[in-house]
Structure 1
Amino acid sequence: MSSFRCWIDALPDVEALISDVSDDGAIISLASDAKLPKTFVVYLTKSGSVGRKAEVLWREGATLGVRFIGKATRPDDSFFV
């Protein structure tokens, strides 16, 4: 299963990888066991041009399964470094 980098609005300083992406959801692996809200926005491109609102369905340590619950708008440029 291949994975690629993603960016999470609630954890801008934590590296995250996304895999098993479908229209309905994905699996996200965080670089740390950081706390995360039940819903958040995950950006699939560094520019923020593709983003999804996500809801955590399950979590095992730093790995979580999410369901996409809507599209997200591009964040302010200060979000990405």
Structure 2
Amino acid sequence: MSIPTENENRDEHRQRVLKGASILSGVAASEVKCTVRNQHRNGAELKVAADSRVPQEFLLYIPVDGIAYKCELRWRRGERLGVMFTGTEAKPHWHYG
């Protein structure tokens, strides 16, 4: 008998990465630091502090990529988040990082 894994429901293989990033939800909102653990062209898995507040939709700015990904939160388990990318935009002008 095999044990089901999380990967069985994925359409694409996620490449393991380790990138610092920021969850941004607007000028007035606070920034949530996170780590991108794996990523593919349609989404990613993030690690945040377990008590972090993360909105349903946000920008994920990854400085090493120089891109802000528009994201939709798909699932959360403690400090792990699954997000779907819905588009991209340039680094927000109001973000200092």
Same fold by TM-score greater than 0.5: yes
Task: Tell which has more relative contact order, 1 or 2 (C-alpha 8 A, sep 6+).
Answer: 1
Looking at structure 2, the residues matched to 56 and 41 of structure 1 have their Cα atoms a distance apart, in angstroms, of 11
| 1:27-42 paired onto structure 2 within 5 Å | 27-42=45-60
Question: 1:8 corresponds to which residue?
Answer: 23
Query: 8 Å contact 2:17–2:39 — kept in the other structure?
Result: no
Identity between Structure 1 and Structure 2 (%): 26
Q: Which runs of 4+ in 1 moved over 6 A?
A: none
CA RMSD between the two structures: 2.0
Letter in 2 for 1:79: H
TM-score (norm 1): 0.80
- The alignment of Structure 1 onto Structure 2 pairs a total of residues equal to 78
- Which has the greater radius of gyration? 2
Write out per-residue CA displacement over residues 18-70 of structure 1, whole angstroms, 9 at most, x where no aligned residue: 02110010001013421111010001116x83110011110011210000000
